[in-house]
Chain A
Amino acid sequence: MPGEDYRRYFEILELQPDASFSEVRNAYLHLKRLYSTESIVIHPIANEFSEESRQEVLQRIEDAYERLSALFQDNGSAYTGSRGQPLGPEEAGDVHEHVSFSGETLRQIRQGLGIKLHEIAFATKIRLQYLENIESERFGDLPPEVYLRGYIVNYARCLSLDSGRVARDYMKRYRDWKKKS
C-alpha cells in the first residue's frame, strides 16, 4: 500500500525497518508469547497493568504482523506455508499441523522464509554439509542418530517450528531408511 507507514509496524515489533521476514516472524512469535503468557518478566509488574492494556498491546502486535506479512507477500518473498496458502497471523503458530516433516518440507519452509542455508549453519553451528544432507535426506552421510536428533531440533527452532514434532517426523523417516538398508 503506497504511503502506508510501515516503519510504525516494524517499531511495534521492535525491529529496524530493514528486517527480513524471518526476523519479523521471530519477533512476532516472541512478543506474542511474552504478552499472552505469564513469565518472570511480566509477573513482577502484572498488577500495574490491566488485562485491557495487555490485550491492547497484543492487538497492536497482531496488526503489525498482519501488515508486514502482506508487505512481504507483495514483494514476492512471502512465506506461503506448506499448503500454498498465504500465511495468516492466526495460523502462523500451527500452520504445519497436517504436514509430516521431511528434508524436502524443511527446505521449502526455509526457502519460503528467505533464509539461506549458511545462515542456519551460522546460527546453529551445524556444518553446512550436514544441513545439506539433512534437507536432501542423504541419511548415509549423516552423523549418528543421537547427534542427528539434536541437529534437527536446532534446525527446526531456527525456522520457528515445533521442534519436537519436526524431530519426531524426521527421525521416523531416518529409522525407516535404516531398517531397509
Chain B
Amino acid sequence: MARVKKGCEIWAIGGGKGGTGKSFVTGNIGTYLASRGKRVILIDADIGGANLHTILGVSRPRTSLTDFFERKASLADLIVCCDSSNMGLVTGDLHSIDSGNIRYTQKLRLFRQIRTLETDYILIDLGSGSHANTVDAFLLADKMIIVLVPEITAIENMYHFMKNVLFKKLKISLGSRGFKEFLQDTWRNRTTYGIKNIKELIDYLRKHSTEVREVLDRELSGFRIYLIMNQIRHTSEISIGFSVRSVCMKYFGFKTHYVGYIEYEDLVWRCVNEQRPYLQSYPSSRCAKEIGRIAENLVEGRQIKMTYS
C-alpha cells in the first residue's frame, strides 16, 4: 500500500438510501486497513442512527459526538478502543434529538479536529439521506465514497444525493468568488434558460465568463466519487457499477471510480446480529477478499476493469 505522505486521509462514506450497508462497509474496510498495520479511526456520524459500534462488536460507548457538539469535548477524548489496537471509534449520537441543527461552524470545527488526529486513515460513516449536514461532511472529505446496492430505489436515491453534492460543490466553488447569486438565479430560472439537468446547468454556467469557466474546470477536474456495489446476488449485477459510472460521466459530467463490489452473503447479517465483526470471523471468505480489494483500490486510487460479462 502507498504511504500517506502528509497527515491522514479522510474517507467519507455516504450514499442516499438507508440499508445499503454503509456501516458494514465502513467497519470492515477499517478493520482491513488496521489488519494491514495502518492506524485507523472510525467516526460514526450517522447522527440519530448510529450503529457502527454494533457492527464492530463494541459495546455501546458512553461518550459520543454529542459530547463534542454539546459539551465541547475534544474529539481525541471521545475515541474508544476496538478489538484491534490500530483502530479507534468515535460513535455517533444516540440521545440528542436536536441533531439536525448542527451549525456549519460546528462542522468545520469537527473537521479541523479530525485533521489533527494522530492516525493514517479516518473513515466517516455518514448515514443515509441527502441532508445538508451529510452533503457538507461528504464534500469535506479527501475521498467521497458511495455504497450502492443493485436496486432501483437505491439508485434513485443515490442520483439525488449525487446531484445535491454536485450542486453544493458548485455553490461553494462559485460562491467564494462572488458568483453565488448568479448560480442561484440561473437555477431558479432554469426553465427560462432551457436547463433540464445539472449537466446543462454546468454547460450554461461555463458560457458566462472565462473566470467562471476556469473556476468550474479547476474545481470539477478534481471532483471524483468512489463507488462500491454491495449485496451483489448475480454476476450480471457487477456491471451496474460500470453503468452508473457511465451515466455520471455522460449525463452528469463528473468522474466516478468504481472500486469494487461485495457479494450478498447470509453470514454477514448473522454476524451483525451476533455482534461479531465479520472480517475477523471469516477472514478468508469471498466477501472478506472483496472488501480487501476495495480497500486496496481506495488506497491506491485504482478502479476495477470490466471483465467479460
A residues within 8 Å of B by Cβ? 14, 22-23, 26-27, 30-31, 34, 39-45, 48-50, 53, 57, 123-124, 157-160
For B240, give its contact among A31, A41, A45, A50 (CB under 8 Å): A41
Chain B residues numbered 217-258 whose CB sits less than 8 Å from any CB in chain A: 239-240, 242-247, 249-251
Q: Is B151 an interface residue (CB 8 A)?
A: yes
Would you call A39 and B196 a contact (CB within 8 A)? no
Once the chains are docked, how many angstroms separate the CA of A157 from the CA of B306?
13
In the complex, the answer to whether A157 meets B308 with C-beta atoms within 8 Å is yes
Per-residue interface assignment for chain B, residues 269 to 307, with 1 indicating a CB less than 8 Å from any chain A CB and 0 otherwise: 000000000000000000000000000000000000111
Prevailing SS type, chain B contact patch: helix
| A27 touches which of B151, B247, B306 (Cβ 8 Å) | B306
A31 to B196, CA, bound (A): 23
Closest 7 CB pairs of A and B: A44-B156, A158-B308, A40-B152, A41-B243, A48-B197, A34-B243, A123-B308
Report 8 cross-chain contacts, Cβ distance below 8 Å, ordered by A residue.
A23-B305, A34-B246, A41-B247, A42-B243, A44-B155, A45-B251, A49-B196, A57-B250
B196/A50 in contact, CB under 8 A: yes
Decide if the interface of chain A is mainly helix, strand, loop or mixed.
Answer: helix
Residues B247 and A30 in contact, CB atoms below 8 Å apart = no
Range class of the B interface residue count: 20 to 34
Kindly state whether residue B159 has any CB partner on chain A within 8 Å.
yes
B309 touching A26 by the CB < 8 A rule? Answer: yes
B57 at the interface (CB under 8 A from A): no
Cβ contact within 8 Å between A45 and B247: yes
Measured between beta carbons, the chain A residues less than 8 angstroms from B197 are 45, 48-49
The answer to whether A40 and B240 have CB atoms under 8 Å apart is yes
**CB 8 Å contact bits of B52-86 with A (1 = contact, 0 = none):** 00000000000000000000000000000000000
Instruction: Flag whether B48 is at the interface (Cβ < 8 A).
Output: no
Q: Which residue of B lies closest to A56 (CB)?
A: B250
**B129 lies within 8 A of chain A by Cβ:** no
Partner of B155, one of A30, A31, A40, A160: A40
Chain B residues closer than 8 Å to A31, beta-carbon distance: 246
B175 contacts the other chain (CB 8 A): no
> Could you tell me the distance between the alpha carbons of A53 and B240 in the complex, rounded to whole angstroms?
21
Let me know if B150 is at the binding interface, CB within 8 A.
yes
A39-B306 in contact (CB<8A): no
| Alpha-carbon gap, A27 to B249, bound state (A) | 15
Q: Which residues of A contact B239 (CB under 8 A)?
A: 30
How far in angstroms is the closest Cβ of chain A from B275?
33
Complexed CA–CA distance, A22 and B308 (Å): 9
Q: Please report which residues of chain B, range 158-172, place their CB below 8 angstroms from some CB of chain A when the two chains form the complex.
A: 159
Cβ of B244: which chain A residues have Cβ within 8 Å of it?
41
> B196, A45: Cβ atoms under 8 Å?
no
- Report B-chain residues with C-beta under 8 Å of the C-beta of A158: 308
Check A40/B151 contact, CB under 8 A, given A34-B246, A45-B247: yes
Known: A30-B309, A48-B196. A42 touches B247 (CB 8 A): yes
Chain A residues with CB below 8 A from B246, complex form: 14, 31, 34
Q: How far is the CB of B255 from chain A (nearest CB, A)?
A: 10
Residues of chain A within 8 A of B243, CB atoms compared: 30, 34, 39, 41-42
The answer to whether A45 and B159 have CB atoms under 8 Å apart is: yes
Closest Cβ–Cβ distance, residue A45 to chain B (whole Å)? 6
